[in-house]
Amino acid sequence: MLRFNLLLAGAVLTFTVLTGTAAAHTEVTHMVPAASSSVAAPKTVTLDLSEPVNLRFSTFKVYALPAGSDAAALSKAKLNLKYDSAERADLFPGASGLAARVQIPLRAGLKPGAYVVMWHLLSDDGHPVSGQSVFRIK
Ligand SMILES: [Cu+2]
C-alpha cells in the first residue's frame, strides 16, 4: 500500500510538472535588435515568442526613450494609448491571426538614442503578459 501511494504521489507530481510547463506564460525568446545592443538604424524589430499568440489581442510598439526616462514606466504609460501612431518610432499597422514571430517595421531616419520595444500579449492560458526591451541606435 505504501509503495502504491508513493507511485501515485510520483505520478501526480509528474503530471503537475508537465502541465505546469504546458501552461507557462508566453515569453519573448529572441529579439533583433537584441536587448541592450547598439546598432545602426534597423528597418525592423523582430520578436520570437515561445508560442503563437493571437495578434489581434496583442500590442507591439516602439518608442524613443527620452534621456533619464525609465523604460518600464514609459511602457506602462504608452502601451494602452490609442491613436498614438504619430508619436511612435514604429509603423506597425496591427495584425490578426496566430503567429510566433512578429516583425515591426520602423520609421526611416530614426535619430541616434535609446528605443523601447514594448509588448502586451495574451498567453495561451488567457493571462496577459507585458514586457519591454531597450536597444540603442548609434
Ligand atoms: Cu497564466
Average pLDDT by consecutive 10-residue portion of the chain (138 residues)? 53 46 80 98 97 93 97 97 96 93 97 97 88 98
The model's pTM: 0.82
Q: What is the pLDDT of residue 78?
A: 97
Q: What is the pLDDT of residue 123?
A: 84
Q: 84 C-alpha to center of ligand 1: Å?
A: 29
For ligand 1, the distance from its centroid to the CA atom of residue 52, given in whole angstroms, is 15
Q: Are 111 and 55 in contact (CB under 8 A)?
A: no
Half-sphere exposure of 6 (CA within 13 A, CB side): 3
Structural domains present in the chain? 25-137 (2.60.40.1220)
Residue 25: CB atoms within 10 Å: 13
pLDDT for res 117: 98
Ligand 1 centre distance from Cα of residue 101 (Å)? 20
Side chain identity at 138, as an amino acid letter?
A: K
In angstroms, the CA 43 to CA 108 distance is 7
Tell me, in angstroms, the distance from the centre of ligand 1 to residue 124's CA. Answer: 8
Question: What pLDDT is stored for residue 17 in this prediction?
Answer: 47
